[in-house]
Amino acid sequence: MATIDDVDTTGRKAESGGDDSLLLWILVWSELAAFGALLIAFMVMTVTDVGSASLLRSHLHPGLAALNTVLLVFSGWQAALAVRSGDSAARRPLMFAALSGFAFVLIKLVEYTVEVRSGIGTAGTLAELYFLVTGFHLLHVLFGAGILLLVAWRPSRANVVMIATLWHAIDLIWLVMFPIVYLG
C-alpha cells in the first residue's frame, strides 16, 4: 500500500498507488461538502429572514473575525513551510501553526462570550445556525491544532503532508465563511 511519502515537495504523487492519499482527499471533500451545505443554509436564511440577518450582524465582531483570518492564513503558511522542510526542520513551523490555531480558538471563545452577553440569541434560528457553522469550524481548528502539535512532536513526511492538507482545508473553509457570515 502506498503512503503519503509517495508525494514529493511539489505535491505530485509518485508512480506507486495512492490509497492513503485517496482517503485523505475523500475526507477533505466530505468536509468541504458539509461546510458548503451549512453555508448555503446560512445564506438562504439571511435572504429569507432579512430582519434576523440584520439583527445577527449587529451583534457580530468582524474585527475579531478578521484577526482570526490573519491567524489562520499565518498558520497555513507555517504548515506549508513544514511540508517543504525536512522531518526535524518541520517541528518549528508545525508548532507555530498549532499555536496560531489555539490563538484562533481563544479569540473565537472571547467573541462568543461578547456576542452572547450582547443578546445575539434574539436573532433566533439564524443565531443558532451561526453558532452551528462557526462552532463546527472551531472544533475543527481545535482538533487540527492538537494534531499539528502531535505531528510536531514526531514529524514524518507522511504525517506532515497529511495534517498540512487537512489544515489547508480548514483554512479554506474559514476564508469562504468569513465574508459570508461577517461581511454579507
pTM: 0.85
Q: Classify residue 7: in a domain, yes or no.
A: no
Q: Is the pLDDT of residue 59 over 90?
A: yes
pLDDT single digits (tens) 110-166? 999 999 999 988 889 999 999 999 999 999 999 999 999 999 999 999 999 999 999
For cell 461581511, name the residue. Answer: 183
CATH number, position 143: 1.20.120.80
Q: Is the pLDDT of residue 84 over 60?
A: yes
Residue 160, helix vs strand vs coil = helix
Q: Classify residue 17: in a domain, yes or no.
A: no
Task: Give percent of the chain with pLDDT exceeding 90.
Answer: 78
What is the distance between the alpha carbons of residues 100 and 167, in angstroms, rounded to a whole number?
12
Q: Classify residue 1: in a domain, yes or no.
A: no
Residue 62, helix vs strand vs coil = helix
Helix, strand, coil percent values for the chain (each to nearest 5): 85, 0, 15
Q: What is the pLDDT of residue 1?
A: 42
Q: Classify residue 130: in a domain, yes or no.
A: yes
Stretch (H or E) spanning 90: none
Q: Classify residue 114: in a domain, yes or no.
A: yes
Which range marks the domain in which residue 160 is found? 33-183
Q: What is the pLDDT of residue 19?
A: 64
Q: What is the pLDDT of residue 184?
A: 80
Average confidence score pLDDT of the chain: 89
* Higher per-residue confidence, 86 vs 2: 86
Q: Provide the domain count of the chain.
A: 1
Buried b (16+ CB within 10 A) or exposed e, 64-88: bbeebbebbebbbebbebbbebeee
Q: What is the pLDDT of residue 14?
A: 43
For cell 511539489, name the residue. Answer: 10
What is the distance between the alpha carbons of residues 50 and 48, in angstroms, rounded to a whole number?
6
